[in-house]
Amino acid sequence: MTTKRTLSIHRPEDILGYIPHLLGYWPEDSLVAITMQGKILGATLRVDLPSRWSSRALAGFAEQIRHYLVADEAANGVVLAVYTDAGWVDGTVVSQMMPMIEALQLSLDEVDLSVRDAWLVGNQYWRSAFCSDTSCCPDPGLPVARIKDSRLNAELVYQGSAFGSSPRSGTGQPALARSGPLDPSVMEAESRFGDRILGMSRSWRCLESVLAVWHHVLARVEHGAPLQAETDAQLIGFLRTTLKVPAWRDAVVVMAAAGMDSAISGAAAFELFSDEESCEPPFDVGELGITASAANPQATPTSGSCGDVFTYGDVLLGMHPDTPCWGRVDALHRVLAGLCVEEESGDVAAAAFTLQGWISWCKGSGSIAHACLVRAKAARPGYRLAELLMEVLGRGAVCRWAARPGSAWRGSRQAHA
């Protein structure tokens, strides 16, 4: 679910042309609901179409959708877009989808959120669900090309926006990892740092040093300086090594979303770390091309809710903070996408894909999250965090941050604001 954005909308094609840019991909087998405040588009929610179509199941599905949409307290209407390839050939698409739309109308009317319009979108055609006038809604429908050629879609493309196909198709979606083999120097650095620090996975000193390096990297990437294999091979190898330790992996995620204090206090609560190991520095940050002052977490102050302290569970379930530090979370997403390659297997790939899945879920992109988690489980069958997150998605849970207009992800412009 994403927050409101004011756009100049003139035709249904404009709204339908905007949705893929908003989600980052062309939906499949999906319901997209957008709240409206007068004539202004509000919050957007995408969910998979229901798996069961009995009256009782559809009523429960509609109630769940209503629960998320009422978070936009200023909304007074809703528009719906149903993406399905079913029923276009035999002309039954309207009759197949109407029971769900009617259940949504009934549920949303109870909270004064009237369904202003609903559209059905297939692979080749689209149409209004309510229109029976063949002069404007011919059988089987209008060509999808009219959506892709809409004024608003053209304007967004001109501004540099782009989208891929649904994650389910496996094509067109921006890569979740780099293509091509890993640089040999990266692999050498990963092996060397693995020999030096994996044996200190329970050392407080090592945890603090790991977090300091990640803090520096996220700040750097957030401010527009991506990692490059040609110049950052040692750093990339080091980061890959840290993903092999679940406790370090989780601490990095919590630090990105909720700040350093939450990462440290949460780690202490698990009692996994000890001061009994060597007091010698586990590694020299200078080897990674980082100055000691740049790696100091105190060098970049946190602001707002990011400075509060929360438990790991609260953060990983998107319960707290009220709004995550989206700039750092997005930076983490971009770093992870460059740490492993497409067909890689093992703990590094499993961790990278799992964390990308978690971030996508936090941003409200359930389909992308699912695709990432499937790849994580393929990279390392039985990978525990991927299995737990898959259970969360399987229950239809929407991240609390994504469900609230005030805290939802609003795209890269928000991250760099």
Residues 9-38: pLDDT tens digits? 668 888 898 888 777 778 889 999 988 888
Domains by residue range for the chain, with CATH = 12-158 (3.40.140), 184-415 (no CATH)
To the nearest 10°, report the CA torsion of 258, 262, 263, 268: -160
Q: Is the model's pLDDT at 181 over the cut of 90?
A: no
Centroid of chain to Cα 128: 29
- Do residues 258 and 315 make contact, with C-beta atoms less than 8 angstroms apart? yes
pLDDT confidence of residue 240: 97
Q: Within a 10 A sphere around the Cβ of 282, how many other Cβ atoms? A: 18
Helix (H, G, I), strand (E, B) or coil at 76: coil
Cβ neighbours for 4, distance < 8 A, ≥ 6 positions apart: 35, 37, 40, 41, 42, 43, 72, 405
For the chain, give the percent of residues with pLDDT over 70.
82
Residues in the chain: 417
Centroid of chain to Cα 260: 22
| pLDDT greater at residue 256 or residue 166 | 256
Query: What residues pair up with 378 in beta bridges, in sequence order?
Result: none
| pLDDT per position as a tens digit, 286-334 | 778 787 665 565 433 333 344 567 888 889 988 889 999 999 999 999 9
Helices marked H in 81-226 — which ranges?
A: 93-109, 145-148, 151-158, 184-197, 204-222
How far, in Å, CA of 123 to CA of 143, rounded? 9
How far, in Å, CA of 262 to CA of 307, rounded? 8
How far, in Å, CA of 189 to CA of 256, rounded? 24
How far, in Å, CA of 358 to CA of 353, rounded? 9
Confidence of residue 3 (pLDDT cuts 50, 70, 90): very low
| Per-residue tokens: 181 | 């083999």
- pTM reported for the whole predicted model: 0.69
Strand order in the sheet with 125-128: 40-48, 30-37, 77-83, 114-121, 125-128, 142-143
DSSP assigned state of 321: S
Helix-helix angle 233-242:184-197, to 10 degrees: 50
Cβ neighbours for 35, distance < 8 A, ≥ 6 positions apart: 4, 41, 42, 43, 44, 69, 72, 75, 77, 78, 113
| Per-residue tokens: 102 | 């009617």
